[in-house]
Amino acid sequence: MQTTPQRSQLFVASCLALLVTSLSFGIRAGILSRLGVEFQLNTSQLGTIAATAFWGFPLAIVFGGMVVDAIGMKKLLLVAFAFHLLGIVLTIFASGFWSLFISTLCIGIANGTVEAACNPLVATIYSDNKTTKLNHFHLWFPGGIVIGTLIVFLLDKIGIGWQIQVGLMAIPTIIYGYLFSKLDFPVTERVASGISTADMYKAVFTSPLFWVMFILMFGTAITELFTGQWIDVLLKNVTDNAILLLTIETGVMVLGRAFAKPVIKQFSPQGVLVISAALATIGLYLLGHSSGNMLFVGALVFGMGVCYFWPTMLGFVSENLPKTGAIGMNFMGGAGMFAVSLYMMFMGGYYDQLKVGKSPAEAGQEIINVTLIIPIFLTVAFIGLYFYMKGRKKEVLTAV
């Protein structure tokens, strides 16, 4: 592990940057329906706007992963700061579909750039404890969603408009931009280890295990992020407090990620992924087949399920395939967000079609029930991964 005197400050600044990313997610989820009414947008258009953040993200995270070793993590994070500020300002002054599209794209690019730099940064400064610290870092994603949804809920109650709600994101943005501008950064772990760029790309493109995880990342990201971003739209006709379902779900995720160390130690990363997929399946089933207070039980179970997905997928790759470096972690993140963007655009149009023949309440839960297929598949796949890794560990011990 490199000696990094300022690693605590770097970690705090990274968490603030991720907080802005998650605030954009939580606040957008809370105001999405209102934007549709104010700008006369149908569900398909809202789906396209929301999806823009998710495909701006993979573009940025993949590109950032390719250049982070060359230009350094600090410059990449200052680019993220600039795009975050630009996206916030453009959203506040939006006037319709295209201005919302462009502003959301800017925020998506900023969000992806944050992860392109911060994931390898956290893995570098805590190379002795990667999966746990990535979980601690990523708890600020659900943490920011809790804060964002509560901001929307409370400010709505007192009649403060969505423009001010969006503008509040500028506060942590300015703080993290200032902190990163003043701190010294280490080189990435891959560079410090002397692994060449050619070896890094070779490790990515020739590893079957990496590509299995890459494909499974599609499912974990869709299960977690599509459901969270659309929960207010899909369930607003089933409950008067749909946005609070997201608050409950993400609140559970914060607690789970905060106590990731003993959980991962007890069950191993691959064991945690099996349990996560099974709980996500049960939670989605309850959300798609319940009403009233049972919806909150569904949100609670679902939050327990998706809690460890994202950081544990990244941590698994970083720990078991260390030569893949920053590009491996960022390809994983890009894969997840790209899958969410496509799924979100497709489901926006499908939801509009369902509403023609069904009530909005039935249409929303039908979308959830279709999505339920994904965590069922993940459960089976992660059971296979669990036994594969168990067998591989046994082979290593036998060889020794």
pLDDT at 206: 93
Per-residue DSSP letters for 193-253?
A: TT--HHHHHHHHHT-HHHHHHHHHHHHHHIIIIIHHHHHHHHHTTT-TTHHHHHHHHHHHH
The residue written with tokens 């609070």 in the block is 244
Cα–Cα distance for residue pair 398/400, rounded to 1 Å: 5
pLDDT at 59: 85
pLDDT at 156: 83
Give me the tens of pLDDT residue by residue for the chain, a chain 400 residues long: 555 668 889 999 999 999 999 888 778 777 877 888 888 888 778 878 877 877 788 888 888 888 888 888 999 999 999 999 999 999 999 988 999 999 999 999 999 999 989 998 998 888 888 888 999 999 998 888 888 878 888 888 888 888 998 999 999 999 999 999 999 888 877 777 778 888 989 999 999 999 999 999 999 999 998 887 777 667 777 777 777 887 888 889 999 999 999 999 999 999 999 999 999 999 999 999 988 889 899 999 999 999 999 999 999 998 899 899 888 988 998 899 889 888 987 887 888 888 887 776 688 888 899 999 999 999 999 999 999 998 887 654 454 4
Helix axes 360-371, 325-357, angle to 10 degrees: 150
- Closest to 60 (Cα-Cα) out of 26, 32, 84, 92: 84
The two tokens of residue 63 are 């590109």
Question: Domain spans of the chain?
Answer: 7-399
Amino acid identity for residue 62 in this structure: V
- C-alpha distances (whole Å) from 97 to each of 58, 100, 106, 226 are 22, 5, 14, 20
The residue written with tokens 């990274």 in the block is 14
Q: What is the CATH code of the structural domain delimited by 7-399?
A: 1.20.1250.20
Cα–Cα distance for residue pair 4/38, rounded to 1 Å: 49
- C-alpha distances (whole Å) from 151 to each of 27, 156, 233, 241, 313 are 8, 8, 18, 14, 30
On whether the CB atoms of residues 2 and 186 are closer than 8 A, the answer is yes
pLDDT at 400: 40
- C-alpha distances (whole Å) from 236 to each of 39, 86, 244 are 19, 31, 11
Helix intervals (H) in the chain: 7-38, 43-71, 73-92, 97-125, 130-138, 140-157, 162-167, 170-182, 189-192, 197-205, 208-221, 227-235, 242-258, 260-289, 294-306, 309-320, 325-357, 360-371, 373-399
Q: What's the N-to-C CA distance of the chain in angstroms?
A: 25
Amino acid identity for residue 261 in this structure: K
CA atoms within 13 A on the CB side of 365: 17
